[in-house]
Amino acid sequence: MALCVKGTRLTVWLCLGLAMAGCQSAPQSPKARTITISADITLHPLAEGVWVHTTWFDLPDYGRCPANGLLVVDGPEALLIDLPWTNELTATLCDWITRNLKATVQTVIPTHFHQDCMGGLAEAQRRGALSYASDKTIALAWQKGLPVPQVPCRSQTLIRCGTTLVLVTHPGAGHTTDNVIAWLPVQKILFGGCLIKSMDSASLGNTQDGDPAAYPATLRKVQAAYPEARIVVPGHGRWGGPGLIGHTLGLCSERASNPGE
């Protein structure tokens, strides 16, 4: 279930949702044990019912490249924030979730239109998952002949997986013009996607479809909106704390000082 709302109305709905979730404190992280599903798919637990899914794909000129997403499971319902690179990887992940977690992927949220977020969208939709994305992502998917997400969101969108809340927002352009982020308020987990870089990233990477000039302001909005974030997950590489946002801001400054690099 999702609701696109703005301003104070969103605050009211978020508070109601937290109350319906039981007014509980953030769940404790389970023992951090990486689960290997295949040679190209791993899961790493972040909190009760929340995992990072990492999938690998061979990119021309780059070689084997990992990409992160989130898996949320609440009872028989599962939700994916970003999809694996391909339909085949997505099928493998969804089958594993059904067999081992006794849940079905009912909702998917690609955070922008690139393959590392949306490559498995057709398979997820074939299986009956409902897909949400920025209206900008949907427009780009149409233009580029890609599988098209079904439900457009223009501001902030509150989505439920069982009683688990996921708030999706478009803070502004950065890595791409359509990039969104996802916030789990109870768990205090922020999925920044490719807008946020891991601590071992030495550059902003590919911003061909983004807006380097707007990037710093977008990051500052994220920094101001989620000061209580406990875990920040980037689109690639190791996750960490809010320092990843500051690190990405530093990379923006380096890019501005050396625009030719």
User: Catalytic site residues?
Assistant: 112, 114, 116, 175, 194, 197, 206, 236
Q: Are strands 231-234 and 63-74 parallel, antiparallel or unpaired?
A: unpaired
- For the chain, helix, strand, coil in percent to 5 are 30, 30, 40
In eight-state DSSP terms, residue 134 is E
* Cα 256 to Cα 67, 120, 174, 185, 212, distances in angstroms: 26, 34, 13, 33, 8
Q: Which helix (H) or strand (E) is 183 found in, with range?
A: strand 181-184
Which of helix, strand or coil describes residue 225?
A: helix
Strand partners, 55: 41, 67
What's the Cα-to-Cα distance from 188 to each of 123, 208, 227, 235, rounded to whole Å?
A: 30, 31, 10, 17
Helix (H) or strand (E) holding 58: strand 50-59
Q: From the CA atom positions of the chain, what is the Rg in Å?
A: 17
